[in-house]
Structure 1
């Protein structure tokens, strides 16, 4: 069983910020086809702010404080739609592990699932509408199913990543029903949703941080 401390979570936000920064131009290019071409910039700003804020915390801060601090800093840094979505995700994760000084495998999987549900609730999106939910919900389901079947955290997050990648790829065949891309109608076909693409980057970084 893995024990994930607050220091591990801080390192996780560092890894996510680094991964998003590396993919920023690709995410902006994806968004340029069906959106405002700024998704990569917004995500980089958000996770950079979250990283800086959690790094500055007292080392004795509990996991809930790490998640809630990340939520507030992300929201303050990002005015685009991804701001409130990821802020809600981190607030839900923090609420799920409230009172814990360190997280077990089960705690982390529960926090991961809470993030996906938070994004769905805040965005009021369903699968098939060409949004980040098409990556996040399959990932959360896959993680829960693999863990319930006896998988450890590494196996559960690997399953989540595989499902997220498949979900993001599937958005190419969807007509956008949410956000700015909705106005394109059938013209949004053939293009991956940038939010789903960035979700894959986030989930992959989370997996690497939680299992290394």
Structure 2
């Protein structure tokens, strides 16, 4: 089954609904290591994107989503998401539909563009690690199982990196004190891909943020 603009809008609606449910959770996770507004960025961005009139051209539709995040948020996460959507838009321009088999290439392009824009590296405990894991997971997965594979990979990334220190962004200032805490960006990406699963579905994973111990905040 090909993915057209209408299916993209439906997916955005599901992601937006899940992002709104997860907003407080993401703000709490971000508050432990950053500004505490990540949930607002993600929920507002996807909500407005889901309400936009997307053109039939998939590339232009993805570009409109990117513009939405540029409009609603000046945060680093919002900027990175916009960058990722723009990279995928370039590869999809002129198409009215894309095949599921193209998704690994699009996610990889978004990952690479975000690495370049944010000057991050794989292993820094960021959303980039989540995207990399998802690319690997869906490359060899049938279309019908891609979403489940992406959710599993994103969830595993959060847990694999929980016991590692953050090495990029504001969170890096906490150093070893970030060990034991989920990276907010990775957690947000998990909630985003979970939203793709099914309409009105509650969070599938049990990943939970934790507050830093007394004195861990600067």
TM-score by length of 2: 0.85
Pair 1:162-2:152 in alignment: yes
Distance 1:125 1:161 in 2: 23
**Is 1:199 aligned with 2:192?**
no
**2:205 is matched with which residue?**
none
Aligned counterparts of 2:109 and 2:193: Cα–Cα separation in 1: 13
Aligned length: 199
Alpha-carbon deviation of 1:207? 4.8
Deviation at 1:63, TM superposition (A): 0.8
Residues 157 and 112 (structure 1), Cα distance of their counterparts in 2 relative to 1, 3 Å cut: farther
Tell whether 2:132 aligns with 1:137.
yes
The CA distance in 2 between the partners of 1:153 and 1:206, in whole Å, is 13
Checking the alignment, whether the CA contact within 8 Å between 2:84 and 2:109 is kept in structure 1 is: yes
Alignment partner of 1:13 is 2:8: no
> What TM-score, normalized to structure 1?
0.87
Match of 1:52 in 2: 51
Higher helix share: 1
Match 1:124 to one of 119, 131, 134: 119
Q: Which runs of 4+ in 1 moved over 6 A?
A: none
Give the 5 Å matches for 1:8-87. 8-53=7-52, 56-58=53-55, 61-87=56-82
* Bigger mean CA offset, 109-118 vs 44-53: 109-118
Task: State the Cα RMSD in Å.
Answer: 1.7
Question: What is the CA-CA distance between 1:208 and the residue it aligns to?
Answer: 4.4
Q: Would you say 1:94 and 2:94 are equivalent positions?
A: no
1:174 partnered with 2:173? no
| Aligned-partner Cα distance in 2 for 1:154–1:169 | 25
- State the 1:154 CA deviation: 2.4
The answer to whether the 8 Å contact 2:5/2:54 transfers is: no
Q: Structure 1: give runs of 5+ residues left out of the alignment.
A: none
Report if aligned partners of 2:5, 2:57 keep a CA contact under 8 Å in 1: yes
